Structure 1
Amino acid sequence: MAVISTGPIENSPVNGVRPTQQVTIKMVNRDSVNSATVLIQGYFLNGSRTLYVLEEVLLTPNEVATRNHYANFDAFEFVFTTSGPAEESTEISVWGRNESGQLISSQRLVSDEQLEE
């Protein structure tokens, strides 16, 4: 079982609007035979760490899955727990999106950049 975290992501308002309104999570299972499970935990950070997303995703062989979650907070964090036979073949990326749905390049994390706990 691997636990991967984005770490805390600052999302303070600029001119009254937070840069990221929504987070897109892409998960890919590159194993051609085995499945993997990804537990998604999303927290908003406001002096305390409060869980607001709790979702488990089963990735079949060669499957790509996308999840979108609200992220209009001053700070947030996502933690991913991967398990199953294809755990080592599973990769995750996280992308911030603004109010019009455009990607926020400063708030994107690919699997090599995430913190293992």
Structure 2
Amino acid sequence: MAILSTGPIENNAVLGVRPTQLLTVKAVCRNTVDAVAVTIQGYVLGTTRMLYVNELINIGPNEAVTRNYFADLDGFEFIFTTGSADAEAVGISVWGKQSSGQLVDAHRVVEQENVNPNA
């Protein structure tokens, strides 16, 4: 089993408005033959950690799926679980968005980035 996590994300209000109100999850299956299954769990982080999203999605070969979740919370964390055989075949990114749909850079979690342009 492979487990991926966003880690805790702080989303405290600034002037009465939280930076992120919507969280977009994009998942892709790079397998050209078999589908993969991914469990998505979202947690509200406050004085306790409470599950508020629990969804199993099946992603077909070479398919990409998008899910949107409520995120107008002071803190949250998302965990993605897939079978160990599927770990290399799945790519996941998470995007915080304002209610207008504009991306919140601080709440962006991607699979991999090349931070050195010369690499």
Could you tell me the TM-score, scaled by structure 1's length?
0.92
* Residue 73 (structure 1) aligns with: 73
Report the Cα offset of residue 82 of structure 1. 1.2
* Greater radius of gyration (CA): 2
Deviation string, structure 1 residues 29-53 (Cα, Å, up to 9, x no partner): 0111111100000000011100000
Whole-Å separation in 2 of the counterparts to 1:5 and 1:47? 20
Whole-Å separation in 1 of the counterparts to 2:29 and 2:7? 23
Let me know the Cα RMSD of the aligned residues. 1.3
> Which SS does the other structure have where 2:54 is aligned?
strand
- Shift in alpha-carbon separation, 1:61–1:84, aligned structure 2, 3 A: farther
Instruction: Say if 2:95 and 2:104, in contact at 8 Å, map to a contact too.
Output: yes
* Residue 111 (structure 1) aligns with: 111
Instruction: Say if 2:2 and 2:84, in contact at 8 Å, map to a contact too.
Output: no
* Residue 99 (structure 1) aligns with: 99
> Which SS does the other structure have where 1:111 is aligned?
coil
Q: Percent identity?
A: 52
* Residue 10 (structure 1) aligns with: 10
Whole-Å separation in 2 of the counterparts to 1:108 and 1:93? 8
> Which SS does the other structure have where 1:28 is aligned?
strand
Could you tell me the TM-score, scaled by structure 2's length?
0.90
Whole-Å separation in 2 of the counterparts to 1:4 and 1:98? 24
* Structure 1 alignment gaps of length 5 or more: none
* Structure 2 alignment gaps of length 5 or more: 114-119
Deviant stretches of 4+, over 4 Å: none
